[in-house]
Chains A and B, each alone.
Chain A
Amino acid sequence: MRVIMVGCGEIVYFLARQFAGKGFRVTIVTREAHEAGVLSRKLKATVLHGDGSDPVVLDQAGARRAEVVLALTPRDQDNLAVCQIAHHMFRVPRTVALVNDPENEEIFRKLGVTVPFSATQIIAGILEERAGFEEISDLFPVAEGKVTISEVSLRPDSPVVARLVQDLEFPEGALIGGIIRSGEVIIPKGNTQLAETDRLIIISQPGCYDQVLRLLTGED
């Protein structure tokens, strides 16, 4: 997958590192000249110095072939412009924008951003325990991203519920390292049966992670 990220700061660095670890082709566009130099030395990514809402810069970043554009600057007007130009000029199918003013989340959706997200809303949601039940959490890369460890919760409708671990068609490069069930950790054996609401610790090489997720969730 080809991803373009426009923005600056730690969020861009850590996301790019994670995406690169998953085997994505990442291009970063930052306005900060110094940061561009630092990022290009630290990351397995292409880094451009420029204004990500400038059509010429987006074109140079490979927008014509990108599947996703992420706009992560601290200014809502820039994030909107990046997404709209990417979508309308370069036909980028998916655009994701950080929304700083939570009231702009709905507006961004109306103005054509595929996924607007507001950090304020997410944090408020966590505090109010309204956050959606996410299936995947704590994805983190180990050994410079050659292996990732993540936690996947099994929904009641998951196709692997009630199946034995030995019967799963797990790819070579992945395994279930542990199962968290009612607060206890189970080390799985071949005859361990999976149950709904189990949380599986998945250890996987980046290349087969998508296959594992499809297997566990039943989604494409």
Chain B
Amino acid sequence: MKPKETEKNWPQYVVVVGCGRLGSHLASKLSQAGSNVVVIDCDESAFAHLAPEFSGFCISGDAVQVEVLQKAKVSKADCLLAVTPDDNLNLMVAQVAHEVFAVPKVMARVSDTKRESVYRKFGIATVSPTRLAVDFFLGAFRKTEGNG
């Protein structure tokens, strides 16, 4: 199935690691947008968070184990998003996906902003929900100031 999204870079095959609030929402959105999605979580009950429209695959297992990533066919993925609440797990899985499985686009959720700056320096793409929220709140103030 071709992705419905018209963007040229929209990923066809995505692996999402972590199926909590963020992971399940992300996986459901990607699936609805036409990507083939595999979600990995060590807790099988987490898959209940997925939207009813989710049409991808679920794998229960610990993503720091290479065999779990192999089962998810990570080597064929266009993109891997590591979004568990565990910074170290996300950073490790992102690096393994990039260095071992040669996944072209890899991103890790990192909540600790100190840790994020270390990993950014050596080329791991990170997303910090904490920093995004802070920027958003402060941005709202700046707009208010500008308008007033």
A residues near B (Cβ < 8 Å) are: 53-56, 75-78, 80-81, 84-85, 88-89, 101, 103-104, 107, 110-111
Q: Is the beta-carbon distance between A54 and B91 smaller than 8 angstroms?
A: no
The docked-state distance in angstroms from the alpha carbon of A54 to that of B113 is: 10
A55 touches B99 (CB 8 A): no
Q: Are B64 and A101 in contact (CB under 8 A)?
A: yes
**Given the interface contacts A77-B86, A88-B121, A110-B100, does A104 sit within 8 Å of B114 by beta carbon?**
no
B68 to A, closest residue via Cβ: A101
Q: List 15 A-B contacts (CB under 8 A).
A: A53-B88, A53-B115, A77-B64, A77-B86, A77-B88, A80-B91, A84-B91, A85-B118, A101-B64, A101-B65, A103-B65, A103-B66, A104-B64, A104-B66, A111-B96
CB contacts under 8 Å to A, within B80-103, are 86-89, 91-93, 95-96, 99-100
Complex Cα gap A76–B115 (Å): 17
| Interchain CA distance A107-B119 in the complex, whole Å | 17
Q: Is the beta-carbon distance between B99 and A76 smaller than 8 angstroms?
A: no
Q: How far is the CA of A34 from the CA of B88 in the complex (A)?
A: 24
Q: A81–B66 contact, CB under 8 A?
A: no
A77:B91 contact, CB within 8 angstroms: yes
**Contact pick for A101, options B66, B87, B112, CB 8 Å:** B66
Q: Give the docked Cα–Cα distance between A51 and B19 (Å).
A: 24
Tell whether A80 pairs with B65 under 8 Å between CB atoms, given A55-B115, A56-B114, A110-B99.
Answer: no
* Closest Cβ–Cβ distance, residue A75 to chain B (whole Å): 7
Contact B121 A77 (CB under 8 A): no
Neighbouring B residues of A80 by C-beta, 8 Å? 88, 91-92, 95
State the 3 A-B residue pairs at the shortest beta-carbon distance, nearest first.
Answer: A81-B88, A77-B88, A77-B92
- Please give the distance in Å from B100's CB to the nearest CB on chain A: 6
Is B5 an interface residue, CB under 8 A from the partner?
no
Instruction: Report B-chain residues with C-beta under 8 Å of the C-beta of A55.
Output: 114-115, 118
- For the complex, what is the distance from the CA of A85 to the CA of B89, rounded to whole Å? 14
A202 vs B88: C-alpha distance in the bound complex, in angstroms?
43
**Does B122 lie at the interface of the complex (its beta carbon under 8 Å from any beta carbon of A)?**
yes
Of B67, B89, B112, B121, which contacts A103 at CB under 8 A? B67
The answer for the CA separation of A56 and B118 in the assembled complex, in Å, is 12
Contacts of B115 in A (CB 8 A): 53-55, 81, 85
Further pairs besides A88-B121, A111-B99: 12, Cβ < 8 Å: A53-B87, A53-B88, A54-B112, A55-B115, A75-B64, A76-B92, A77-B89, A81-B88, A84-B118, A84-B119, A101-B66, A107-B100
Question: Which residues of chain A are near B112, meaning CB under 8 Å?
Answer: 54
| A76 proximity list for chain B (CB < 8 A) | 64, 92
CA distance A111 to B91 in the complex (A): 11
- Chain A residues near B121: list those with CB within 8 A: 88
In the bound complex, residues from chain A placing their C-beta under 8 Å from that of B99 are 107, 110-111
Q: Which B21-66 residues sit within 8 Å CB-CB of chain A?
A: 64-66
Tell me which residues across on chain A come within 8 A of B64, comparing CB atoms.
75-77, 101, 104
